[in-house]
Amino acid sequence: MARWAYVNGRYLPHDRAAVHIEDRGFQLADGVYEVVTILGGRFADMDGHLDRLDRSLNALRIPWPVNRPVLERVMRELARRNGIHDGAVYMQVSRGVAPRDFRFPSPRPSSLVVTTRRVQRWTQPGQLEEGVPVITIPDIRWGRRDIKTTGLLAQVLGKQQAAEAGAFEAWMVDPDGTVTEGCSSNAWIVMAEGTLVTREPSHKILNGVTRLALLRLARAAELTVEERPFTVAEALAAREAFVSSAGTFALPVTRIDGQAIGTGKPGPVALGLRRAYIDDVLRGRL
């Protein structure tokens, strides 16, 4: 089956789709992105992702490349052309093509690239039965982590370090000893007495669209929730830990830096929220 991508107004064969060498996304990481999951043929929380795209673009003063209904139509059309029933749509917007200069160029069209990815299975064998390991690393990123920018070098290095350590994810830690988030996920713990804790939105983390959905589900289930920073020591003493993102939903973490968390097995809060989230997407409630 032919694979299509979308670049600046055109659907192109994936292997021939390209941006200009002076695209500011390519040269300066002067762009933002979103990843929307397609689960059972349904887009998960399209509105949440497009709302965040709007915030990222506004924060960087990058104009929308096309209006929102058109972008949504392109995403759905590309997924249809590529026959994606389970997978993800990736979209990237940059400040356009201009001779390389740090300052903003004169007004010009933003670049828009949309691609899709097929997912055969959402977890690897054993991940739901055993949970996944994470490591902790210093958070070396810039001060506006709330903007979903394509400038991801710290996360590239962190994910590679995690992979080399046999871990699924790296949790980044601020100089004060608190966990900010994972390289591509938000971080959660369940304290020994049952309180669910995840860091509050600020410039220090990306406010995950999945994070927001899980918070709503947790509150609906009458869990006690605290949005606040937590330390690595608190995480090590937790009953449960998990990560959340568009592609992992809620995924149990059972080892941090090699130390078992709680019973060392996935716990009911993480697995329950995961089930509730997937259910909401499949039923078209998200």
> Which residues contact ligand PLP (rule: CB under 6 A)?
181, 184-186, 206, 208-211, 244-246
SS3 for 202? coil
Nearest CB to ligand PLP, comparing residues 40 and 264: 40
Nearest distance, CB of residue 89 and ligand PLP, angstroms: 12
Could you tell me the two tokens for 256? 């941090």
**Of 148, 159, 204, 265, which residue is the catalytic one?**
148
If you ran DSSP here, which 8-state letter would residue 142 be given?
A: -
Nearest distance, CB of residue 252 and ligand PLP, angstroms: 16
- The β-bridge partners of 32 are 93, 149
Is 148 in the active site? yes
Nearest distance, CB of residue 211 and ligand PLP, angstroms: 5
Could you tell me the two tokens for 179? 């966990």
- Roughly how many angstroms between the first and final C-alpha of the chain, as a whole number? 30
* Residue 30 phi, psi dihedral angles, 5° rounding: -90, 65
Nearest distance, CB of residue 109 and ligand PLP, angstroms: 26
Find the residue with minimal CB distance to ligand PLP: 208
Dist CA 184 CA 248 (whole Å): 10
Phi-psi region of 91 (alpha: psi -120 to 50; beta: other; left: phi over 0): beta
Nearest CB to ligand PLP, comparing residues 181 and 280: 181
Q: How many CB atoms lie within 10 A of CB 95?
A: 23
Catalytic residues: 148
